[in-house]
Amino acid sequence: MIRFNNVIKKFGEKPVLRGFNLHVHPGETISLVGTSGAGKSVTLKHMVRLLRATEGEVLIDGVNINQIDGKALEEVRKRFGYLFQSAALLQWLTVFENVALPLRENRKFPEREINERVERVLEKVGLLEAAEKLPADISGGMQKRAGLARAVVTEPDILLYDEPTSGLDPVTSRTIDELIATLQKDLGVTSVVVTHDMISALTISDRIAMLHQGTVLEVTPPREFLQSKNEVVRGFLDSQCINPNFFDDFPERMLK
């Protein structure tokens, strides 16, 4: 569905992606993990051509997104929902109007359908009561949920999440994880989740890709990831105090 073939991305002389290969399968949830600056956000931005590869191909269902423009690019972008690192809500619009934004931009939706759709997703993320509030008047967790609602309101095939739990307390983070898993189940979308939160990655993913120095070190299901012998992976898990028996101690109901 999404395929990176030997992608190189340089900013000036500085290479950030250096021969990057990744294949995201239809319907799966894949997490990209790695230390800060590893290239996770840069990778995500390539998928919707917010950044263009210096070399190599980024294919979306076989279409090289580096080689299209105008209407064709717009069509590909319409298939994506994107939750940015900061929830990026417009501060002067209510939660309702923030979520309605992508539908209004699209111009083809009559007002009645906009209302129905926005209410439906706000209910899914538990924000119906907060619909008329301004972003400044709701908590960080609620802002992320509003961002999530906005990302899914157009019913995209592919959802990109950049650090959906960053800046949230652990309890709120797990609520967001559960919500991502529920949306996944209900909508059957393909999801790419950038995170440095290993608990999120382990509990919501079908596979985890470890990024390191501009390449993908390994891509494995969570249980295999925990058993990895790779030094970089081990160091990353140790730094978050995640041991190989993580799943034995984690509450069953929280697992995918």
Question: Residues interacting with ligand ADP, by CB under 6 A?
Answer: 11, 16, 34, 36-42
Nearer to Mg ion, 41 or 203 (CB): 41
∠ at Cα 135 (42, 41), nearest 5°? 5
Nearer to ligand ADP, 36 or 91 (CB): 36
**228 interface partner picked from ligand ADP, Mg ion, none, CB below 5 to 8 A per type:** none
Least distance in angstroms from the C-beta of 128 to ligand ADP:
33
Least distance in angstroms from the C-beta of 164 to Mg ion:
12
Least distance in angstroms from the C-beta of 248 to Mg ion:
31
SS3 231: helix
**11 interface partner picked from Mg ion, ligand ADP, none, CB below 5 to 8 A per type:** ligand ADP
Place of tokens 């699209």: 106
Phi first, then psi: what are they for 228, rounded to 5°?
-55, 145
Least distance in angstroms from the C-beta of 202 to ligand ADP:
18
SS3 5: strand
Nearer to ligand ADP, 40 or 207 (CB): 40
Least distance in angstroms from the C-beta of 80 to Mg ion:
17
Q: Would strands 190-194 and 29-33 be described as parallel, antiparallel, or unpaired?
A: parallel
CA quadruple 195, 49, 140, 39: dihedral, nearest 10: 30
**226 interface partner picked from Mg ion, ligand ADP, none, CB below 5 to 8 A per type:** none
Which 8-47 positions form the footprint of Mg ion (CB under 5 A)? 41
Nearer to ligand ADP, 95 or 159 (CB): 159
Query: What is the end-to-end Cα distance of the chain in Å, rounded?
Result: 22
CA pair distance 220, 227, nearest whole angstrom? 10
**125 interface partner picked from Mg ion, ligand ADP, none, CB below 5 to 8 A per type:** none
∠ at Cα 204 (82, 221), nearest 5°? 115
CA pair distance 189, 155, nearest whole angstrom? 9
Q: Which residues bind Mg ion (CB under 5 A)?
A: 41
